[in-house]
Amino acid sequence: MRLDKLRNANFKKKKRVGRGPGSGHGKTSGRGHKGQKARAGRSTWVGFEGGQMPLIRRVPKRGFTGPGKKEFRLVNLKDLNQFERDAEVNPAALKARGFIKKESERVKILGSGELKIPLSVKAHSFSKAALEKIEKAGGRWQIANGKSQIVNGKAEKIKAQSGKGTKDEN
């Protein structure tokens, strides 16, 4: 074996352009005839669209609201003290008291303030602080989202009636 006879499988010869018609890359050197891409010097940039206003310049730059964003109406725990003891607080009851405009709106209960009475609160979302304060006051919380619901940490089917709602410590 001789060193000058070794052949590297990864080695590929450089394409030599403009070296006559016999090379296959002569005359126009593989650039075609005329046009912007045939010229020497600066070429077009990645987002160039042939003179049309490029997409990057058409879209707003200050962010956007995505189509999957879920908007919630926020209700603080301190506002729920207006309800009677052991009352059912749901979107319908919140609408009746003027906390939300439509019953179909998503409601999130936040933990600002103290809850002084036990309530059964049904909403689409809760903050962790709100959950702790509702349970501390002796109340129940329930997350309903279409097919199933979560009652004090336990998932249930929507057809099944919830029990006493004490949280199981597993």
In a domain? residue 107: yes
Instruction: Judge whether 168 lies within some domain.
Output: no
pLDDT at 24: 86
Domain for residue 35, yes or no? no
3-state secondary structure of 133: helix
Residue 162 lies in a domain: no
Residue 135 within any structural domain of the chain? yes
How much is the mean pLDDT over the chain?
82
Q: What is the CATH number of the domain that holds 129?
A: 3.100.10.10
| Per-residue tokens: 143 | 């997350």
Asked whether the predicted pLDDT for residue 148 surpasses 60, the reply is no
120 forms beta bridges with: 88, 140
Number of domains in the chain: 1
Residue-wise pLDDT for 49-73, tens only, equals: 988 999 999 988 888 788 888 899 9
Domain that holds residue 93: 72-157
- Which range among 32-36, 126-130, 145-149 shows the weakest confidence by mean pLDDT? 145-149
Other C-beta atoms lying within 10 Å of the C-beta of residue 103? 13
Tokens linked to 155: 């998932």
Q: Is residue 110 part of a domain?
A: yes
Q: How many residues does the chain have?
A: 170
Q: Confidence class of residue 150 from pLDDT cuts 50, 70 and 90?
A: low
Lowest mean pLDDT among 14-28, 55-69, 154-168: 154-168
What is the structure's pLDDT at 165? 45
Contact 135, 141 (CB under 8 A): yes
Residue 41 lies in a domain: no
Decide if 18 contacts 12 (C-beta within 8 A).
no
Compute the average pLDDT of residues 112-129. Answer: 92
Residue 13, helix vs strand vs coil:
coil
Q: Could you tell me if 18 and 29 are in contact, meaning their C-beta atoms sit under 8 angstroms apart? A: yes
Evaluate if residue 126 carries a pLDDT over 70. yes
In a domain, 105, yes or no: yes
